[in-house]
Chain A
């Protein structure tokens, strides 16, 4: 599983970070780091919850290369 980060859409709600601070890292302003996130298998549920919690829909879940 991969999380595609649409950095332009991030507005710093930090709801993903609240779900999983290790997976969704923030910069000093509280906005997500721009790189896509490769999710270890054991963290897939946390990643899914984090991506789903984004009010701006800035995080897209990709499974086997598909959304």
Chain B
């Protein structure tokens, strides 16, 4: 039975509003070394971080846009027109009451404090460049769990932070990871001590409020031996006429036997370039699982990855992409097997509506010297209209004799007969479509926490309503 419970209020129209800007710190338009010093000064970066940024900036400049394999639409990003840092201060508030009124109103409209009371163990809310609010339930904090903004993480917990920062995703991984490394601000730092199982999810909510803005949060999560954590992130922005850039880097580390689940529901408005690098390392017997839902944005490029570094490590990517008219969801997964008996699973479902385009790119590597590694890849595409488009680029490299892979791909269309059948039962064409689409993703959605599956169902319904008739 479906229980209608506390959905996350991030539906398309709920997110489409903006309050006037009241930022006290503004790095201005364009990116130079001066911009980076400006950010480092405000954030009172330690010297190693400043150097890290400056080096990353050089890497960013030297890297070409990946237009030789990815969408030419990337050329529409004008780096000189973007504002790289905007904030009203660098210290997130611990009490909701202390958050500035306009920002508070924004998140209240998005339902953030409400959800925290209901089912979350902790919340961080980022408004443009910085976290404005960060709170963790007392009981969880007492277990030694650290949940702070990335700036606070690097200052107050350097012994853990520095060890892993930039190690899972090197600065030069790609042009956008380099850009993020140069100008990053905001994002979460989480450390879960050995054996601690965090029962309720921690959540971060990323909100872009300003026009011509680039959000570059940086998240680092470390689950120590035998610990467990679920982290969820939600994203929205109002719809501006100009392009907005969101380019995050998320690094996950699951130590021996740890279980780390990272859930994203991205619902950016259709002017946002969402170019995100996400990767996790799974040590022996550890599990890293990405659940990734991409609904909004103009162009999303995101391929969450898992490096299975220890024996019996497991990696999983479950993703749903919904490409509406004028949107391109270029998503997929990377699974790098680097130890014996490691297993990975990729299930990707995409839905293309109208002129929407969904692309799946998968990279699976199992080198020759490994034994008993397994990968399963399933990617299914659903096309709603005859103008919808889907592409699949699986790259699977398996060497050696003791490893196995399985790959299944399907493309289907909602048939006219199916819609007629449902209409004959009294459902409107839009309801019939959305039920079909929900059915298509149902087996995946069932694996999501309920709050997210209810919300996802609603988002799909909203998308489908606008796509027929």
Partners in one complex: no
